[in-house]
A and B are shown apart, each in its own frame.
Chain A
Amino acid sequence: MPTILFNLGLAFMTSMMGLSLQRSHLISALLCLEGMMLTLFLMLTTWATEQQSSLLFSALMMLLTLSACGAGTGLSLLVTTTRTHGSSNMNNLNLLQC
């Protein structure tokens, strides 16, 4: 059991590092974000199996749905930035200026 947790935690950390250290492509950052969501899903699955509670499975489904919505929002943002900035370079993104 701890082995699985360790693996999943390491996967989460790696995805997070990939998200924060990404400089050139927004797509890769979104992919890492999805990776983080996936590991969260797997961790929640593991916990739900442990706790033998069926209420958690519905929360699990909600997590998956929301992750898909988030991915969709992210992709639309990608399209918008490509329209305005010309490329999806992460260095170009500035919160003070669209």
Chain B
Amino acid sequence: MIETQWITPINTMMLASISILLYPLMADTLFKTSMKMQARTAVKYAFFSTLATLIMFINLGMEINTTHINLISSTNFNVGLSFKFDYFTLMFCPTALFVTWSIMDFAKWYMAHDQEVNKFFKYLLIFLLAMLTLVSSNNLFQLFIGWEGVGIMSFLLIGWWRTRGEANTASMQAIIYNRLGDIGFILTLAWTGTNVASWELDQLFMLKPFDTLPLLALVLAAAAKSAQFGMHPWLLGAMEGPTPVSALLHSSTMVVAGIFLLIRLHPMMEDNELTRTTCLLLGAISTFMTAMCALTQNDIKKIIALSTASQLGLMMTTIGLNQPNLAFLHMCLHAFFKSKLFICSGIISHNLSNEQDIRKMGGIHKTMPITSSCFTIGNLALAGIPFMTGFYSKDAIIETMNSSTLNLGALLLTMAATVMTAAYTTRLIFLVQTGPPRHYPMQKITEDKTLSNAILRLSLGSIAIGPISAMTLDQTQTLPTTVTTLIKLSALGATMMGIFVSLIFIHKNKQNRPQKNNLSTFSNMLTFYSSLTHRSPTTHLLKKAQKVSTTLNDATWYEYSVPKFFSKTQLKMSKALSFLAQGKVKTYLAVFTMSLMTLIILTT
């Protein structure tokens, strides 16, 4: 009972949204001023277009794959431009565009005094197009195009203030870590290209069971892009970029590209136990370690970045539990409140003359009421307070984990991470907003109307989208329906415990004495990961490389082995022989004696 008359509208509106986004990029050069469209307006129209497709999808449950052009066509290998508009794409695109709409409103206010503000918006639009290419592609090649696109735009946007040394270092770090993951992606592309002879997702899913090698390579790619534990430093360094960049790229869209890849390619992974266990443990470790680090940070953007990494670890764990739909739901719902948190932190810090240290903020809830209430709502949604948006996905994940047979370590790490999430969100709420103001006096604090509308829209999303999506979207995988009371309340209990413990400590440490014990230093220095891994392996590697290339290759093979060797030996020999030509009498006497004796001996 598929009504084929709906294919055209869904296709058209999706592709129209991509074209709408292209328009501001080209209009500046092609048309006169009157026909220019602002980036923000384009994103708004694109959002409504994709919202229409989402509503059509919810009504009909129809997914569409289209193939347009053949880029490479050989005898058995065709790579073309093909789109896949299924549940994941159609749900993700409106979410991303909604979030981007609010971020563009915020960016207009935040970057108002920047000289290259038009270029900034164009970069954000190009990023958005790359992301949409990534989520709507039906073959791995097009996905890789989007993957690389978001990586490059992340590089350009993190290093936006390019005269700042830390920004340049951070963007290089982001590119290097993403490149490590691209190794895995290219390995998968090569493996599937040679063994399956196709990069289309439909054809890949028909071939089961898969080898472990391409799947682990995919997990590597996702781990690097989504900042799992071994490859998380770039996400923290990426906070050097302007706050709209952090809000768009590093909270909602780019970092979830890795998770999205795993969700899309989940049919390949569901039989392979090694891959699932890897995902599970990797996710559990990264959520625990990043949440632990977020407890003692003092920079507001770093705390929110670490909370993003923690939630990404939670999504990875869910994929390891064979629940990609839950991971995807958490991804979409997380986008709302995380971007709102970043926007609110940007408003607060911009109003306080770019102060990002939470020990120097306070009393915001009287001076910036709308921002602080939206900040509180975002934090509560992140902690998973019942019936906010975060609750619907997070609680479902923890319930699923509690009622499935999995690694006990992963379970305990995730529960501990939930406690710590609640703790640091409470700390954020209290230290940033309450108490006497600890910032510099005489600040000009304003709350723009469009800005307030943007974060109020996102707050509406943070509260309402959870129930709406839980009620309207059919879950294609069965979730546990009956659990005991204790397990049902375990997530809630963990959250409450985190909040209460954090409140106790906040009340106790009102004097804000600096703490110095080993665990707090370990957590504050981000488990010393960067200090350990960034200097010594690279130094050794570069030294070895220098030894091989300069000493072995250049010096030895090109200098010592042939030219210098010959010259040295020839020099010795010629020195020995030139002795004879110096005219000393003893030489002649010796020659005379030698030849005479030889003759005598020979003749007798």
CA of A19 to CA of B588 in the docked complex: distance in angstroms?
A: 11
Residues of B close to A97: CB separation below 8 A: 583
Measured CB to CB, the closest approach of chain B to A79, in angstroms, equals 17
Asked whether A91 lies within 8 Å of B586 as measured between CB atoms, the reply is: yes
CA of A20 to CA of B592 in the docked complex: distance in angstroms?
A: 8
Q: How many residues in A have their beta carbons less than 8 Å from beta carbons of B?
A: 14
CA of A23 to CA of B588 in the docked complex: distance in angstroms?
A: 13
A42 at the interface (CB under 8 A from B): no
A95 at the interface (CB under 8 A from B): yes
Asked whether A94 lies within 8 Å of B582 as measured between CB atoms, the reply is: yes
Contact pick for A95, options B588, B592, B596, CB 8 Å = B588
Q: How many residues in B have their beta carbons less than 8 Å from beta carbons of A?
A: 12
B584 at the interface (CB under 8 A from A): yes
Residues of B close to A95: CB separation below 8 A: 583-585, 588
B590 at the interface (CB under 8 A from A): yes
Measured CB to CB, the closest approach of chain A to B595, in angstroms, equals 11
Using an 8 Å CB-CB cutoff, how does the interface string of A5-27 with B read, 1 for contact, 0 for none? 00000000100110110110000
Measured CB to CB, the closest approach of chain A to B527, in angstroms, equals 78
Using an 8 Å CB-CB cutoff, how does the interface string of B568-597 with A read, 1 for contact, 0 for none? 000000000000001111101110110011
Asked whether B593 lies within 8 Å of A96 as measured between CB atoms, the reply is: no
Asked whether B593 lies within 8 Å of A90 as measured between CB atoms, the reply is: no
Residues of A close to B585: CB separation below 8 A: 90, 93-95
Residues of B close to A91: CB separation below 8 A: 584, 586
Contact pick for A20, options B582, B583, B584, B589, CB 8 Å = B589
CA of A5 to CA of B584 in the docked complex: distance in angstroms?
A: 34
Asked whether B589 lies within 8 Å of A19 as measured between CB atoms, the reply is: yes
Asked whether B583 lies within 8 Å of A94 as measured between CB atoms, the reply is: yes
Specify the chain B residue showing the minimal Cβ separation from A19. B589
CA of A23 to CA of B590 in the docked complex: distance in angstroms?
A: 11
Specify the chain B residue showing the minimal Cβ separation from A26. B585
Specify the chain A residue showing the minimal Cβ separation from B589. A20
Contact pick for B583, options A13, A16, A96, CB 8 Å = A96
Asked whether A16 lies within 8 Å of B586 as measured between CB atoms, the reply is: no
Asked whether A19 lies within 8 Å of B583 as measured between CB atoms, the reply is: no
Measured CB to CB, the closest approach of chain A to B564, in angstroms, equals 32
**Chain B contact residues, CB within 8 Å of chain A:** 582-586, 588-590, 592-593, 596-597
Contact sample, A vs B, 5 pairs, CB 8 Å cutoff: A16-B597, A20-B592, A90-B585, A90-B586, A91-B586
Q: Taking A16-B597, A17-B593 as given, write out 19 further A-B residue pairs in contact, using a Cβ cutoff of 8 Å, ordered by the A residue number.
A: A19-B589, A19-B593, A20-B589, A20-B592, A20-B593, A22-B589, A23-B586, A90-B586, A91-B584, A93-B584, A94-B582, A94-B584, A94-B585, A95-B583, A95-B584, A95-B585, A95-B588, A96-B583, A97-B583
- Minimum-distance CB pairs A-B, first 9: A96-B583, A20-B593, A20-B589, A95-B583, A93-B585, A94-B583, A20-B590, A16-B593, A94-B584
